[in-house]
Amino acid sequence: SDTPARRPIRDLPDELVSQIAAGEVVERPASVVRELVDNALDAGATQITVRLLAGGVRLITVEDDGAGIPRDELPVALRRHATSKIADLHDLETVVTMGFRGEALAAIASVSEASILSRPAGQDSAYLLDARSGELRPAARNQGTSVEIKELFFSTPARRKFLKTDATELAHCVEAVRRHALARPEVGFAIWHEGKLVEQWRAVNAASREEALARRLADVLGEDFVAQSVAVQRDSGGISVTGRAGVPDAARSRPDHQYCYVNGRFVRDKVIAHAARSAYEDVLHGQKQPIYALYISIDPARIDVNVHPTKIEVRFRDSREVHQAVKHAIEDALAVPRAAAQAAAAA
């Protein structure tokens, strides 16, 4: 027969395992930006600066003023399945941090030239770790961390070929930061490309979460987004839905202003999208795309965030309750301007 000659089963080398994992996590520069900003937020940063060259293909640097990484732990940060965020299964089931898989830095470093410069509080100096050589040496820095990713996919040309123009990759990087910025108004963000400031969203200091969000939404998506939307605020059955929902007139032909978060994490979710669509069904008849930014808070034990390597999907233990919560939250919010318009029409 033509059965191919069989090769023995063996463990793949570590480097190759990481490169395979990188295929799932790192699709393009924006994936790196997302992971590094996740890490900065998990470290409690209040200011995050992203610097890019050539749409992030040549260089991505993410600087934060967070907790930092102690010298001795720098090499550990780059190891696969090494994380400070969970320690056991119970932690996994109640995780509230953006990260927990301990995969991102290892995966990214396996397809780039990576280095980490970090200084935690109480450490005399910062240290710089070069991922490729393993060299660790003292360097200058205030408290916080800078991760530098150079020449993404230099060792995996198949992946590199799928990259688009610098302008397109830059747009995806900006969108990745935008998604974070919309969830964290108390954190300042800046994006530089080729030495020029592309976007800057200053940390918002407001009396209420609602006001802080409205100001951040105006900064990031434009004053129109806020002017053409109403506040959403509904709690029921341990599910809180807040944010803003666009008035029917603000609907667009494309779904480009639809942002959903679950426990602070940007998600793409069919249940939420469907709930939103049905809340607008009566007024938009499914023909135009509503604009919204919705923030769902739910007991972490009621969701599974470990569904997808990039964590852009979640699974709800009770998706019908979530569907109802989102639908009713938007309907309640839209009832406000509707009632006002009816009152105006009647007067």
* Residues making contact with Mg ion (CB under 5 A): 39, 99, 104
Told to check if 69 binds ligand ADP by CB under 6 A, we report: yes
According to DSSP, residue 187 is labeled S
At 178, give phi and psi (nearest 5°): -55, -45
Told to check if 31 binds ligand ADP by CB under 6 A, we report: no
Q: How far is CA 249 from CA 245, 288, 330, 333, in A?
A: 11, 10, 15, 15
What are the structure tokens assigned to 128, written together? 């710089």
Residue length of the chain? 347
At 181, give phi and psi (nearest 5°): -60, -35
Residue whose C-alpha is closest to residue 17's, from 79, 95, 87, 97: 79
Q: How far is CA 194 from CA 153, 164, 167, 248, 287, in A?
A: 20, 17, 11, 40, 40
Pick from 46, 47, 84, 233 the residue near ligand ADP by CB under 6 A. 84
Told to check if 169 binds ligand ADP by CB under 6 A, we report: no
Told to check if 40 binds ligand ADP by CB under 6 A, we report: yes
Told to check if 43 binds ligand ADP by CB under 6 A, we report: yes
Q: Which CB sits closer to ligand ADP, 86 or 218?
A: 86
**What's the min distance (Å) between Cβ of 105 and ligand ADP?**
3
Number of residues counted as binding ligand ADP (CB under 6 A) = 22
Told to check if 83 binds ligand ADP by CB under 6 A, we report: yes
Q: Which CB sits closer to ligand ADP, 106 or 131?
A: 106
Q: Which CB sits closer to Mg ion, 75 or 337?
A: 75
- Angle 10-15-17 (CA atoms, 0-180°, nearest 5)? 55
Q: Which CB sits closer to Mg ion, 64 or 219?
A: 64
What are the structure tokens assigned to 313, written together? 């999907």
**What's the min distance (Å) between Cβ of 148 and Mg ion?**
16
**Is-contact 30 175, C-beta < 8 A?**
yes
What are the structure tokens assigned to 294, written together? 């919705």
Pick from 104, 129, 163, 267 the residue near ligand ADP by CB under 6 A. 104
| Partner whose footprint covers residue 77, from Mg ion, ligand ADP, none (CB < 5 to 8 Å by kind) | ligand ADP
Q: Which CB sits closer to Mg ion, 185 or 309?
A: 309
Q: Which window, 59-67, 266-274, 289-297, 301-309, contacts ligand ADP (CB under 6 A)?
A: 59-67
What are the structure tokens assigned to 11, written together? 């463990």
Residue type, 292: Y
Contact residues for ligand ADP, defined by CB under 6 A: 35, 39-40, 43, 64, 66-69, 77, 83-85, 99-106, 145
